[in-house]
Amino acid sequence: MKKPVILTGLRANNDLHIGNYFGALLPLIDMAKNHAEDYEINLFVPDLHSFTTPIDHSALQRDILNNLRIFAAAGLPIDHDSVHLYRQSYVPAHSELAWILDCFTGFGELSRMTEFKDKSAKLGAEHIGVGQFNYPPLMAADILLYGATYVPVGDDQRQHIEFTRNIAERLNNKFGDLFVIPKSVQEQHAFFRKDQGLRIKDLQDPAKKMSKSDESGKGIIFLGDNPLEASKKIKSATTDSFGKIDVNNQEQPGITNLLQILALTSGRSTDAVTNEYNGQEQYGPLKTATADAVSSFLTDFQDRLAKVDDARLMAKLEADEKQMNEVANTTLLRVQRAIGLRS
């Protein structure tokens, strides 16, 4: 590729909520905007990875396109020449390189992966798919096919980055310079100035992050929620019995969560919001202001989402997938020749 590569995945399925929006989606868009002049920005949909957990297969394509529309509505610069959108399964080299990497990976190496161990312990060996066990080689293929230097990941993926570095070095040592080695996790975090602080919490249980696992739906605000219903969720959010807002009181996670949501959805700084409400002896005004801000945010976002040009988005996707196939196939052929599959 023409410039160094930053690569990251876009969610393939599941509804997105405001925690995803402010905690992951907007930072990713800001990253693309800030680095597109100096880097190739590869944003791929990991649709093959989505099968590691049970999903509604009949809805996968709809979910993929809907999530891409959400990114476009949120401001992703899809018209920039250095921003590339593509679906993982539409570039077959991902699967083929993953198999090759499998054959140079030890069983024990994958068995030690924390994510696999945790899910295996939770579900039991009889109920966890081989795809979950085999996740790291496919993720490594996603990265190595494009010579990606930087891959923004959460702490739960740090082992996978180190695995990618290890398997790339292993094959480079055996067959020559096949792959670009991505930067270490520490270097990744330094480059992206990683901030682990933003975690919007569940409205009903502010001790845990907002998550789709909330079966009641009362603690989570989806981007597709009716603004009036979302407003009601905010007004029924759990607070506490202190009766006074103290921004330094760590025993007020519900209040802290509302202050953060208000700041994010209103576009104001956290300091400005906390200074306004600190010391108030009623929670009602904060809930009302937050409910109004969330309602306005959803109304505006849903209006922008409705205006996304689907034909333009599909044209971008198909053009980039053609280009990414050329890049990935060049890498794959180099590997195939090195290991004897091609002359």
Q: Is position 221 within any domain? A: no
What is residue 198's predicted lDDT score, i.e. its pLDDT?
Answer: 65
68 token code pair: 């891409």
Indicate whether 34 and 15 sit together in one domain.
yes
What is residue 128's predicted lDDT score, i.e. its pLDDT?
Answer: 83
Q: How far from the centroid of its chain's Cα atoms is residue 179's Cα? A: 25
Q: Is position 108 within any domain? A: yes
Contact 19, 209 (CB under 8 A): yes
Number of domains in the chain: 2
Q: Is position 254 within any domain? A: yes
Q: Which residue has the tokens 């992951």?
A: 24
Indicate whether 61 and 182 sit together in one domain.
yes
Q: Which residue has the tokens 């992703």?
A: 76
Indicate whether 129 and 265 sit together in one domain.
no
Residue 191 structural domain? 5-198+310-339
Length of the chain: 343
In this structure, which amino acid lies at residue 195?
Answer: D
Q: What is the mean pLDDT of the chain?
A: 93
Residues 232-241: what's their mean pLDDT? 96
Flag whether pLDDT at 11 surpasses 90: no
Indicate whether 194 and 263 sit together in one domain.
no
Q: Is position 211 within any domain? A: no
Indicate whether 298 and 325 sit together in one domain.
no
232 is catalytic: no
Indicate whether 172 and 257 sit together in one domain.
no
Q: Is position 210 within any domain? A: no
More confident residue, 1 or 101: 101
Contact 42, 28 (CB under 8 A): no
307 is catalytic: no
Catalytic: which of 194, 209, 232, 244?
209
Q: In the chain, where does DSSP find H-type helix?
A: 18-20, 26-35, 60-73, 93-102, 107-111, 114-123, 130-133, 135-144, 158-175, 185-192, 227-235, 253-266, 270-277, 284-306, 310-339
Indicate whether 132 and 17 sit together in one domain.
yes
Q: Is position 261 within any domain? A: yes
pLDDT digits (tens, 9 = 90+) for 279-338: 999 999 999 999 999 999 999 999 999 999 999 999 999 999 999 999 999 999 999 999
Residues 160-174: what's their mean pLDDT? 97
- CATH number of the structural domain spanning residue 176: 3.40.50.620
The residues with which 209 forms a beta bridge, in sequence order, are: 201
Q: Is position 220 within any domain? A: no
Indicate whether 145 and 286 sit together in one domain.
no
Q: Which residue has the tokens 């603690």?
A: 219
Catalytic: which of 3, 183, 208, 212?
212
Flag whether pLDDT at 130 surpasses 80: yes
In angstroms, the CA 118 to CA 63 distance is 27
**For residue 54, what pLDDT band results from cuts at 50, 70 and 90?**
confident
Which of 20-24, 64-68, 194-198, 303-307 is predicted with the least confidence, judged by mean pLDDT?
194-198
Full-prediction pTM beyond 0.85? yes
**For residue 154, what pLDDT band results from cuts at 50, 70 and 90?**
confident
Q: Among 14, 49, 11, 9, which residue's Cα sits nearest to residue 136? A: 49
**For residue 115, what pLDDT band results from cuts at 50, 70 and 90?**
confident
Instruction: Tell me how many degrees the CA angle 169-172-178 measures, rounded to the nearest 5.
Output: 120
322 is catalytic: no
Q: Is position 99 within any domain? A: yes
- CATH number of the structural domain spanning residue 242: 1.10.240.10
Indicate whether 300 and 327 sit together in one domain.
no
Indicate whether 9 and 127 sit together in one domain.
yes
Express as a percent the part of the chain with pLDDT over 90. 81
Contact 17, 222 (CB under 8 A): yes
What is residue 119's predicted lDDT score, i.e. its pLDDT?
Answer: 79
Indicate whether 24 and 161 sit together in one domain.
yes
What is residue 127's predicted lDDT score, i.e. its pLDDT?
Answer: 76
Which of 30-39, 76-85, 124-133, 260-269 is predicted with the least confidence, judged by mean pLDDT?
124-133
pLDDT digits (tens, 9 = 90+) for 198-228: 679 999 999 999 987 767 789 999 999 999 9
Contact 72, 303 (CB under 8 A): no
27 token code pair: 């930072």
**For residue 12, what pLDDT band results from cuts at 50, 70 and 90?**
confident
What is residue 196's predicted lDDT score, i.e. its pLDDT?
Answer: 47
Catalytic: which of 119, 201, 233, 287?
119
Indicate whether 172 and 79 sit together in one domain.
yes
